[in-house]
Structure 1
């Protein structure tokens, strides 16, 4: 895990494959809070990415240790509940 204190608002979050996953709203409780516009079908609220997935902070990008498609499956609700558990 990289130093989360280096992550600031509006940084791009990308998977290990370089594919865009989201945009940082802020770091909250050891997790990255993504802006609502990057929350897919749940654009009425924020999704979160565990700080444990952060591999590096490089320039204006947060690079994750998982590919974007896999990281999307690991996104969480505010409560910490995984989105994958809520999908039909």
Structure 2
């Protein structure tokens, strides 16, 4: 893995928590944040506050890249609490 993990993250990769729970799908890398697709914005989370817009996660939460998956250091529920809302 390269020293700058941002270069290893690609569009359409699945983002999973440390517990293997699906957190989202990569739309793009935006600076030090991973932009998740809108279609995953409400997957398993509060439908009212998370639906219909992009969410971002800090690249600092990435523990590893495994094939087409971005594995986070936080479990799925904790990662959802760390979502950065679209501005």
**Matches of 2:70 and 2:4 in 1, distance apart?**
9
1:69 aligned partner: 77
* 1:2 Cα deviation from its structure 2 partner: 6.6
**Matches of 1:2 and 1:46 in 2, distance apart?**
23
Between the two proteins, the alignment pairs up a number of residues equal to 79
TM-score (norm 1): 0.83
Structure 1 runs of 4+ with >4 Å offset:
none
Any stretches of 5+ residues in structure 2 without a counterpart? none
TM-score (norm 2): 0.84
Q: Kindly report which structure 2 residues correspond to 1:50-65, keeping only aligned pairs within 5 A, or say none.
A: 50-65=58-73
**Matches of 1:2 and 1:15 in 2, distance apart?**
20
Q: Kindly report which structure 2 residues correspond to 1:1-88, keeping only aligned pairs within 5 A, or say none.
A: 3-40=5-42, 41=47, 42-79=50-87
* Residue aligned with 1:44, SS: coil
Any stretches of 5+ residues in structure 1 without a counterpart? 80-88
